[in-house]
Structure 1
């Protein structure tokens, strides 16, 4: 007899939070990386982009390691004081882990590492409160994206939901009057940021900025202050190691 469609098994269990064993394992993994690589850098990406960081991770695979997670756990692995630091001088790195900052470990020469990150940039879609880098005006007529393509009729409600006064003409979302999407320098609202995403206009830039670094031979070396780049965003638990 076929099972009734009304008979459904519903799980009432909740995902358990990662406990002390997970944190202990993370500390051990970080310290293993400290033994493997010569240099430890502090980095910031400002407005976090998972896909951009993933690309950096892939490009440095085998020659570098990214650690991006709960600052308290990472600092504990490094050592927060001279008495508890894993290696001499690492507490200076731990003290600077405030906000969404991460660690980048590599054995590459510091000059070459800096040069690589200074030249690595990728276009990205702007987010809420990001200042528009250019003025964008859509002309009257069929709405077209950055690739000069019109939208299907099914997208008309989404376009209208982003503030455009649209209508369907021959099945194509259309503007009756010229419409300004954003003005250079203005902070984008969530609505305008979504619209730029739909239109395919990238007004932001993904970039990793390196700050201070440490090595066992050279000790702690003061670098650029990254505190201005630190947003209030706190990494999720699943971002502990990258």
Structure 2
């Protein structure tokens, strides 16, 4: 009887782990970027979409570089205090690196960066757990946008549907989601089928550092607290 391929041993030495060497490479890359670019920005993001972010990054790769990952590793790269900062005042950037944030290095003028980030937004389908931005309700009657093959799937999503002479129809009004409420897995699937996009991928500037200046963009942050830390 032939041996199952599932039972074949795997040599762990052939696998790669993101350990100390990977972290050191990130630290070195960030410190090199400090030398190569005029300004550093901390940015936050909402409704991150990796493919969209990659496209935005490619658009700016000739003048800029982005870093996303462990905030702690990025903080170490810059220096977390006056005693270990790699450039005067750059530890202030580390203090701002919290939560969903990243580093943006660039040679673009400040005004151009602000314009790019302010204007950038991409719409996409909301994921499970996201907050509905509007109420979506379907009225009783035929659903011409769906083929008859979709009827079993729609029923599994909790929709009160039936086939009537090969046409999918709702037997009663159905609320897909309520504004301000988190989306269920079923609601997010139905919204996708309906082509309704409720998620907006945005990037927000939080602060800017250059050898001659440090500036906060985000409201609620106290510059004096950052400077005294």
Q: The TM-score by the shorter chain falls in which range?
A: 0.7 to 0.9
Using the TM superposition, give the Cα deviation of residue 160 of structure 1 relative to its aligned residue in structure 2, in angstroms: 2.4
- Aligned-partner Cα distance in 2 for 1:171–1:74: 58
Root-mean-square deviation (CA), in Å? 2.4
Match of 1:236 in 2: none
In structure 2, the gaps of 5 or more residues are 222-229
In structure 1, the gaps of 5 or more residues are 228-242
Which structure carries more relative contact order (alpha carbon 8 Å, separation 6+)?
1
Using the TM superposition, give the Cα deviation of residue 66 of structure 1 relative to its aligned residue in structure 2, in angstroms: 1.1
Alignment partner of 1:224 is 2:218? yes
Aligned residues: 218
Match of 2:226 in 1: none
Match of 2:92 in 1: 92
Q: 1:34-65: per-residue Cα shift (whole Å, max 9, x none)? A: 11111111111123221221121122121221
Match of 1:35 in 2: 35
Match of 1:156 in 2: 151
- Aligned-partner Cα distance in 2 for 1:118–1:8: 53
Question: Does the 8 Å CA contact 1:211/1:226 hold for their aligned counterparts?
Answer: no
Match of 2:225 in 1: none
In terms of fraction of residues, the more helix-rich structure is 2
TM-score (norm 1): 0.79
Question: Does the 8 Å CA contact 2:41/2:205 hold for their aligned counterparts?
Answer: yes
Question: Does the 8 Å CA contact 2:30/2:77 hold for their aligned counterparts?
Answer: yes
Using the TM superposition, give the Cα deviation of residue 142 of structure 1 relative to its aligned residue in structure 2, in angstroms: 4.0
Q: Determine helix, strand or coil for the equivalent of 1:167.
A: strand
Q: 1:57-87: per-residue Cα shift (whole Å, max 9, x none)? A: 1221212211000111111111111111111
Question: Does the 8 Å CA contact 1:151/1:173 hold for their aligned counterparts?
Answer: yes
TM-score (norm 2): 0.83
- Aligned-partner Cα distance in 2 for 1:12–1:141: 58
